[in-house]
Amino acid sequence: MVGGRPLTGNLDVWFRSLMVVDGRGKMETGAAITGWKDLPMELLLRVLVLGDDRMVIVASGVCTGWRDAICLGLSHLCLSWCKEHMNDLVLSLAPKFTKLQVLSLRQNKPQLEDNAVQTIANYCHDLCDLDLSKGHKLSDISLYALAHGCPRLLRLNFSGCTAFSDSALAYLTSFCTKLKYLNLCGCVKAASDRALQAIAYNCRQLQSLILGWCEGVTDKGVICLALGCPDLRAIDLCGCVLITANVKFTLTCCFSIADESVIALANGCCGLRSLGLYYCQNITDKAMYSLANSRVKSKHCSWASIHGSSNDEDGLMKLNISQCTALTPPAVQAVCDSFPALHTCPDRHSLIISGCLSLTAVHCACAVQNHRPNKAGLSH
């Protein structure tokens, strides 16, 4: 029989629950199995998939054969469950697990230090996906190490890494040029117009960028992104506040993102699917009409339109304009009409307008259809 995951972490107990025998304690090949050490390496790796990352770590210390097999076969590892001593654990494991491609080190409380990230960069050169979110103890040293040691990175989550600077982030992007996903939420020092200019220049394949609550971001940086990263699918500008509303840096307003940013994204990123503008209160109807018109432009230039076909899921599928109180119903309705994948109905809520009492009349196509009289019984 095959058992589930071990509850106690005891390998011997779990082994007995996983054994498949012919009644005489032998495998089908006739080789006797008396313990874990006798398992073929291929079977070992398949068995460990049924466990969790803690079991993998325990198994890697059983014997040198197991350690070598696991180190060569392990590509994904999550240590976010580690509430204490994560830094020491990384220092111990990174030199062994050199084939890692995905590594999650999300922390509930700051544990990781620069020496752990340096160790990762020194040994895990195949890394493609790294989560360092809430790494409050990390400094620019970590970014410089990753730049030189992990140039194949495609996804980076730096959410809450408040000590990173924009110069170090710019340096990182000059090496990690294949980035497709970058989360800079709350990175108030790193996410600046200077950094966005570097990202636009170096990371032209970028598809998703999260800039929530990055106070140093203005229209200037977002316009550079729209020009340099035409493949952007999702961008979150929620709460980008406290600087100016225009590219002249006049400091007369308290909100940094205005219509120019949205217009640039609408014109430059035809594949945009998700746009977060929560609390960007300088956004006006001008930006909404630009989004609505971009739907028409994208249809004309899309391959699908050449063949005479259309897809409701082309274009925006999620738009958050909560607390954008300057918007009026006609402008937002125009966006909703242009993008059928945007919904105000409860079951498929993808046009988020909370905090905008004036927009309660905006509705998606579903709402219109639900209120039409039932004509099923009418004859033709």
Of 15-19, 93-97, 183-187, 277-281, minimum mean pLDDT range? 15-19
Residue 242 has pLDDT above 90, yes or no: no
Average pLDDT over residues 337-343: 94
Residue 331: pLDDT band with limits 50, 70, 90: very high
Cβ of 17: how many Cβ atoms within 10 Å? 11
Does residue 280 or residue 139 have the better pLDDT?
Answer: 139
Of 23-32, 38-47, 221-230, minimum mean pLDDT range? 23-32
**Average predicted confidence (pLDDT) for the chain:** 83
Residue 377 has pLDDT above 50, yes or no: no
Q: Which pLDDT value is given to residue 215?
A: 85
Average pLDDT over residues 90-112: 95
Q: What does DSSP assign to residue 373? A: P
Residue 11 has pLDDT above 80, yes or no: no
Residue 291: pLDDT band with limits 50, 70, 90: very high
Residue 175 has pLDDT above 90, yes or no: yes
Residue 343 has pLDDT above 60, yes or no: yes
Quick one: residue 160, left, alpha or beta (phi over 0 = left, psi -120 to 50 = alpha)?
Answer: left
- Residue 127 in tokens: 């890394």
Of 34-38, 169-173, 289-293, 349-353, minimum mean pLDDT range? 34-38
- Residue 41 in tokens: 């390496």
Residue 112 has pLDDT above 50, yes or no: yes
> Tell me, which fold does domain 75-248+260-298+321-359 have in CATH?
3.80.10
Q: Tally the C-alpha atoms within 13 A of residue 55's C-alpha that lie toward its C-beta.
A: 21
Q: Which pLDDT value is given to residue 195?
A: 98
Q: What does DSSP assign to residue 236? A: E
Decide if 218 contacts 258 (C-beta within 8 A): no
CA pair distance 291, 32, nearest whole angstrom? 68
Residue 205: pLDDT band with limits 50, 70, 90: very high
Which of these, 265, 325, 270, lies nearest to 296 by C-alpha position? 270
Residue 255: pLDDT band with limits 50, 70, 90: low
Which of these, 239, 232, 193, 244, lies nearest to 214 by C-alpha position? 239
> Which residues have a Cβ under 8 Å from the Cβ of 208 and sit 6 or more positions away?
180, 181, 182, 232, 233, 234, 235
Average pLDDT over residues 36-61: 74
Residue 137 has pLDDT above 50, yes or no: yes
Which one of 144-153, 208-217, 286-295, 297-306 scores highest in mean pLDDT?
144-153
Does residue 346 or residue 306 have the better pLDDT?
Answer: 346
Residue 51 has pLDDT above 50, yes or no: yes
Average pLDDT over residues 362-367: 84
Interior angle at CA 354, CA 352 and CA 358, nearest 5? 105
Q: What are 55-90's pLDDT values in tens digits?
A: 888 888 877 777 887 888 889 999 999 999 999 999
Q: Which pLDDT value is given to residue 365?
A: 81
Q: Give the DSSP letter string of 335-348.
A: HHHH-TT---SGGG
CA pair distance 1, 13, nearest whole angstrom? 13
Helix H, strand E, coil C: the string for 175-215 is CCCCCCEEECCCCCCCCCHHHHHHHHHHCCCCCEEECCCCC
Does residue 347 or residue 336 have the better pLDDT?
Answer: 336
Average pLDDT over residues 163-175: 98
Average pLDDT over residues 21-47: 58
CA pair distance 7, 12, nearest whole angstrom? 12
Q: Which pLDDT value is given to residue 19?
A: 52
Does residue 274 or residue 369 have the better pLDDT?
Answer: 274
CA pair distance 163, 148, nearest whole angstrom? 20
Which of these, 108, 165, 113, lies nearest to 137 by C-alpha position? 113
- Residue 367 in tokens: 């709402």
